[in-house]
Structure 1
Amino acid sequence: MQSCVTIALVPQIKTGPWIFWEDLEASMAQASDLGFDAIELFTESADSIDKGHLEKLLSKYALKLAAVGSGAGKVIHGLTLTDPNPETRTRAIHFIQSMMDFGAHFGAVTIIGSMQGNALPDQREESIMHLKDALEYLGAHAEKLGVPLIYEPLNRYETNLFNTLGTGRAFLEGLSTRHIRLLADLFHMNIEEVDIAQSILENGPWIGHVHLADSNRRPMGMGHTSMKEIAAALKQVEYQGAISAEAFPWPNPLKAAEQTMLSYKQYFN
């Protein structure tokens, strides 16, 4: 398992749960100084960062790019995979595909979170079919790239599609593609799962990425999540991906990153 920290470069989501903001190199320098293995990036688009420049920074600070988020597609452009307008859905697919191409250059997974959208009232089956069609296409693209795509079950206040690892897994099992994995976000799971550790044990082979945040979405150790059992479950299922801090930068980015690293060392080293 690799320690990972989030860096957001999208001004429109500055109130969101990301540890570092705005200055990419300064954020990477702090992450490196604290001993993180990797970073997770949220950018405005796939071409908002020059690949060569990012390669040099990753090498300079001995970091890996573990994941890229696709949320800017919704926040900036209003795109979701379940939009009733077929043209909007096509644009959403192409936006995610471009993020996948960018991330795969570095061996990084791409996350579909908010861009999954919501089912419209009385149109759930149709919305699910739109999501299925999109993921089948994107899953085939992930196979070509050799890097899995990550689907994130969100809590009920953010989507009415799939809210738990179990329901997300059942949906993915119904697809023909086998190149999509689940994101186990501990904040969302704290709201939706009966037992977080047990859910991880039951769905372990499907987990491709983990978001680390406490019950209040502050850095782990600043809420009431019982992390010992969760860490044990991740070890038991032999999860080998990133443990990425997607948490509020409370009380400030540096303190939040320091607290995250303390928790990572406590439970995973």
Structure 2
Amino acid sequence: MKSAVTISLVSEARGGPFVFWDDLEAGMAKAAALGFDAVEVFAPGPELIAPSVVQPLLAKHNLKLAAVGTGAGWVKHKLRLTSPDAGERSKAIQFVRGIIDAGGPMGAPAIIGSMQGSWGKAGGGDVDKDQALAWLAEALAELSGHAKTQHGVKLIYEPLNRYETNLVNDVASGVKLIQQVSQISAEAGANLTLLADLFHMNIEEADIARAIRAGGHHIGHVHLADSNRRPAGLGHTNFAPIAEALRQIGYTGYISAEAFSYPDADAAAKHTIDVYRSVFA
């Protein structure tokens, strides 16, 4: 398992669960100094994470790009893959495609979380759950297929807690969604993987370690935060059984810190790398 830390360049997301903010190179320099293997970047659009911008910085600081986030599609541009408006759904797909095309040449998969939207009134209309899931599966099939054929990278889908979406809240439901995508395109379904976010799982899963074991090979990325979304070690989550479950399923991906900059960014990053080394490495 490898370590990563988040850097957000999205001003509209300020106050959210990202460790470093605003300055890509400064965040990389601090990540490298602490010994992280990679960074995970959230940008307002693909232009700020283009290979011409990011690759020289990665090389300079001897880092990998673990993943690229698409959350700005919602928090900045208000785009959702399950919008009742077909034009908005098309724009959402194009936004994600742009992020895939930026990160893909550097081997970085895109993460779809908040852009998945919701159903019913929470989703901005009277769309029922089955229709919203159908639209989501169709979008994921298209985008996962694009990521695979154009760049040879995975697409990461993130189940969120009930306060952020009413579509897919746990690993088991995420596996069912992958199966739904596979019915549209077997290749796209095989290329779609789940993000196990330990903060969301703390809310939705009765047993995080058991859920990870059940998710098995579908688990393709891990977000590390404590029960209160502060950095690992500053809440009440017991990470030892979680790390053991990841070992049992043969997980070798990133353990990426998506947590509040508490009490500040430098301390948050230090807390995270210490827990990573003592529990996950």
| TM-score, length-scaled by structure 2 | 0.94
TM superposition shift of 1:174: 2.1
Q: 1:219 corresponds to which residue?
A: 231
Name the aligned partner's letter for residue 163 of structure 1: N
User: What is the alpha-carbon distance in structure 1 between the residues aligned to residue 271 and residue 264 of structure 2?
Assistant: 11
Render the CA deviation track for 1:67-123: whole Å, top value 9, x for unaligned. Answer: 000000111111000000000000000100110111111100100000000012561
Q: 2:157 corresponds to which residue?
A: 151
User: What is the alpha-carbon distance in structure 2 between the residues aligned to residue 85 and residue 3 of structure 1?
Assistant: 39
TM superposition shift of 1:53: 2.9
**Distance change in 2, residues 1:49/1:182 (3 Å):** closer
TM superposition shift of 1:56: 1.0
SS across alignment from 1:60: helix
Q: How do residues 1-269 of structure 1 correspond to structure 2 at under 5 angstroms?
A: 1-121=1-121, 123-144=128-149, 145-176=151-182, 177=188, 178-269=190-281
SS across alignment from 2:277: helix
SS across alignment from 2:141: helix
**Distance change in 2, residues 1:36/1:182 (3 Å):** same
User: What is the alpha-carbon distance in structure 2 between the residues aligned to residue 142 and residue 61 of structure 1?
Assistant: 26
Contact 2:161 2:201 in 1 (8 A): yes
User: What is the alpha-carbon distance in structure 2 between the residues aligned to residue 3 and residue 48 of structure 1?
Assistant: 23
Name the aligned partner's letter for residue 146 of structure 1: G
Deviates more, 1:148-157 or 1:170-179: 170-179
Name the aligned partner's letter for residue 65 of structure 1: L
Name the aligned partner's letter for residue 230 of structure 1: I
User: What is the alpha-carbon distance in structure 2 between the residues aligned to residue 173 and residue 87 of structure 1?
Assistant: 26
Percent identical pairs in the alignment equals 51
TM superposition shift of 1:50: 4.3
User: What is the alpha-carbon distance in structure 1 between the residues aligned to residue 19 and residue 33 of structure 2?
Assistant: 15
Name the aligned partner's letter for residue 152 of structure 1: E
Contact 2:49 2:102 in 1 (8 A): no
Name the aligned partner's letter for residue 254 of structure 1: D
Render the CA deviation track for 1:196-249: whole Å, top value 9, x for unaligned. Answer: 000001112001110000000000000000100000001111101110000000
Name the aligned partner's letter for residue 260 of structure 1: T
Count matched residues. Answer: 269
User: What is the alpha-carbon distance in structure 2 between the residues aligned to residue 17 and residue 218 of structure 1?
Assistant: 8
Name the aligned partner's letter for residue 149 of structure 1: L
Render the CA deviation track for 1:130-161: whole Å, top value 9, x for unaligned. Answer: 11111111121122021010000000000000
User: What is the alpha-carbon distance in structure 2 between the residues aligned to residue 27 and residue 42 of structure 1?
Assistant: 12
User: What is the alpha-carbon distance in structure 2 between the residues aligned to residue 37 and residue 218 of structure 1?
Assistant: 21
User: What is the alpha-carbon distance in structure 1 between the residues aligned to residue 49 and residue 113 of structure 2?
Assistant: 21
Structure 2 residue runs of 5 or longer lacking an equivalent are 183-187
Name the aligned partner's letter for residue 236 of structure 1: Q
User: What is the alpha-carbon distance in structure 2 between the residues aligned to residue 58 and residue 39 of structure 1?
Assistant: 9
Name the aligned partner's letter for residue 73 of structure 2: G
Name the aligned partner's letter for residue 147 of structure 2: A
The runs of 4+ residues in structure 1 deviating greater than 4 Å are: none
Render the CA deviation track for 1:12-50: whole Å, top value 9, x for unaligned. Answer: 101100000011111111100000000000001001244
User: What is the alpha-carbon distance in structure 2 between the residues aligned to residue 12 and residue 113 of structure 1?
Assistant: 16
Contact 2:50 2:102 in 1 (8 A): no
SS across alignment from 1:174: helix
Q: CA RMSD in A?
A: 1.0
SS across alignment from 1:48: helix
TM superposition shift of 1:51: 2.1
| TM-score, length-scaled by structure 1 | 0.98
User: What is the alpha-carbon distance in structure 2 between the residues aligned to residue 127 and residue 19 of structure 1?
Assistant: 32
Name the aligned partner's letter for residue 136 of structure 1: A
